[in-house]
Amino acid sequence: MNPTELKTPYFLIEEDKLIENLEKAKRLKDLSGVKLVLALKCFSTWGVFDIIKPYLDGTTSSGPFEVKLGHETFGGETHAYSVGYSEDDVREVADICDKMIFNSQSQLTAYRHLVEGKASIGLRLNPGVSYAGQDLANPARKFSRLGVHFDQIDPEIFASLNGVMFHMNCENKDVDAFVGLLDAISEKFGSYLDQLEWVSLGGGVFFTWPGYDIEKLAAALKAFGERHGVQLYLEPGEAIITKTTDLVVTVVDIVENEMKTAIVDSATEAHRLDTLIYNEPASIGEASENGEHTYVIGSCSCLAGDQFCVASFDEPLKVGQRLHILDSAGYTMVKLNWFNGLRMPSVYCQRSNGDIQLLNEFDYQDFKRTLSQWSVS
Ligand SMILES: *Cc1c(COP(=O)(O)O)cnc(C)c1O
């Protein structure tokens, strides 16, 4: 299969680039002794898990179906976390997870008897400090419901807990900032941590970013683990999948209203939702910084403000031309939706040997099925 023959829109996951990230993950593990579990809420295209499995230790989840998916398709250690479990969730998940992490002391008290003897039990703590660019994604934001705050901890619970989880970073590319958070946690919660078997430090540590000092991170993690006598975990999502995947689209029209807009056969609201939620414009592979021809890359949804970005090109764009919307895997493929009844992008993987393999494709029946399965009679 030649990429130019694939029908747009489609995602192309590149194995080479994925392995580049995974090799960095392996180095971090080897140097630090930390275990890494993939955060499925960021990326759960299980068709490529055979590539990822040899490098990571398992998966972590944010909801019950992710636990099941991790258990079924990834294996290794399955961590189950949820901000709010129902009793049914706990019963279903307890049999297939290795660690069950509760978000509050009330959920821990209500459900621990359903988990004991089946899985290791953990509690999420909120360190009260964080590193996150946007308030929406900041676990230590005001009135945060994520984890137990220090002044609310009942010290008695640590005697019957196996571990705790902290998650307080979002795309943190600054190793010193992370080490600062580690020190703060060690100082504030250290005497509690000393009583545990494991501590997870969550996700959001961007150790695959070019130039990231993995040695420094590894040394700090190793020292922290040894100081408190715990097995450390990180829960990377975006760091594993970053820069591996393009969303490939076709220009279907060009219109002009003071600015030129190239309309493509995809939409941020349906296929790249975080562009909209976090107001972070996409990058286009074909663009050139000093290009003379500037366009809004507009979506084909009916939402007035739905655009991927503004980009400049050396040559004018033409109808029928393909564009690569870069870095479109993390928090993207997991959020695809059918808004406007647009064609859903297919998903392909380009293997290291050049072969292109189809992982998923969708048709009208898939769209129809999500809306109703039965009609009133
Ligand atoms: C979102 C999340 C992660 C993954 O975060 P990334 O920024 O994708 O690394 C890990 N753990 C928890 C608890 C999360 O909520």
239 CA distance to ligand 1 middle (Å):
10
Q: Is residue 376 part of a domain?
A: no
Question: What pTM does this model have?
Answer: 0.97
Q: For a substitution probing ligand 1, which of 42, 136, 274 has the most ligand atoms within 8 Å of its CB?
A: 42
Q: What is the mean pLDDT of residues 220-228?
A: 98
- β strands within the chain, DSSP E: 10-14, 35-39, 58-60, 77-81, 99-102, 120-126, 148-149, 163-165, 198-200, 231-234, 245-257, 259-264, 293-298, 307-313, 322-325, 346-350, 356-360
163 & 174 share domain: yes
Residue of 199, 208, 169 lying closest to 25 (CA atoms): 208
> Above 90 in pLDDT, residue 305?
yes
Q: Residue 330 maps to which CATH number? A: 2.40.37.10
> Above 90 in pLDDT, residue 251?
yes
Q: Is residue 96 part of a domain?
A: yes
233 & 352 share domain: no
208 & 285 share domain: no
- Residue 168's CB: how many other CB atoms inside 10 A? 27
Question: Which pLDDT value is given to residue 2?
Answer: 83
66 lines ligand 1 (CB under 6 A): no
Query: Is 20 annotated as belonging to a binding site?
Result: no
> Above 90 in pLDDT, residue 280?
yes
The ligand 1 atom at the shortest distance from the C-alpha of residue 41 is 1
Residue of 283, 131, 146, 125 lying closest to 206 (CA atoms): 131
144 & 248 share domain: no
Residue of 317, 332, 168, 206 lying closest to 256 (CA atoms): 317
Mean pLDDT of the chain: 97
Cα–Cα distance, 95 to 277 (Å, whole number): 36
Query: Residue 84 — very low, low, confident or very high, per pLDDT cuts 50/70/90?
Result: very high
Environment class of 26 (CB within 10 Å of its CB; exposed 0-12, middle 13-18, buried 19+): middle
225 & 142 share domain: yes
Question: Which pLDDT value is given to residue 299?
Answer: 98
190 CA distance to ligand 1 middle (Å):
23
Q: Find out whether 91 and 103 touch, Cβ atoms under 8 Å.
A: no
Cα–Cα distance, 336 to 43 (Å, whole number): 12
Q: Is residue 194 part of a domain?
A: yes
344 & 291 share domain: yes
97 & 211 share domain: yes
Query: Residue 3 — very low, low, confident or very high, per pLDDT cuts 50/70/90?
Result: confident
Query: Residue 78 — very low, low, confident or very high, per pLDDT cuts 50/70/90?
Result: very high
127 & 175 share domain: yes
139 by DSSP, 3-state: which?
coil
Q: For a substitution probing ligand 1, which of 35, 167, 238, 280 has the most ligand atoms within 8 Å of its CB?
A: 167
Query: Is 238 annotated as belonging to a binding site?
Result: yes
Question: Which pLDDT value is given to residue 193?
Answer: 97
Q: What is the mean pLDDT of residues 185-199?
A: 97
76 & 186 share domain: yes
The ligand 1 atom at the shortest distance from the C-alpha of residue 42 is 8
- Domain range spanning residue 249? 3-11+243-371
Number of H helices, E strands in the chain: 11, 17
> Above 90 in pLDDT, residue 161?
yes
Which residue, of 241, 258, 283, is where some domain finishes?
Answer: 241
Q: What DSSP assignment string belongs to 211-276?
A: T--HHHHHHHHHHHHHHHT-EEEE--SHHHHTTSEEEEEEEEEEEEESEEEEEES--HHHH-HHHH
44 & 168 share domain: yes
202 lines ligand 1 (CB under 6 A): yes
223 & 268 share domain: no
Cα–Cα distance, 239 to 266 (Å, whole number): 25
Q: Is residue 377 part of a domain?
A: no
Residue of 128, 122, 129 lying closest to 199 (CA atoms): 122
Tens of pLDDT, residue by residue over 92-151, are: 999 999 999 999 999 999 999 999 999 999 999 999 999 999 999 999 999 999 999 999
> Above 90 in pLDDT, residue 49?
yes
With vertex at residue 238, the alpha carbon angle to CA 123 and CA 18, rounded to the nearest 5 degrees, is 125
152 & 280 share domain: no
Q: Residue 191 maps to which CATH number? A: 3.20.20.10
Query: Residue 1 — very low, low, confident or very high, per pLDDT cuts 50/70/90?
Result: confident
Q: Is residue 326 part of a domain?
A: yes
Residue with tokens 């900032």: 177
Number of folded domains in the chain? 2
138 CA distance to ligand 1 middle (Å):
11
122 lines ligand 1 (CB under 6 A): no
With vertex at residue 265, the alpha carbon angle to CA 247 and CA 321, rounded to the nearest 5 degrees, is 80
Which residue, of 223, 241, 259, is where some domain finishes?
Answer: 241
- Residue 154's CB: how many other CB atoms inside 10 A? 10
Cα–Cα distance, 224 to 193 (Å, whole number): 10
Which residue, of 186, 220, 241, is where some domain finishes?
Answer: 241
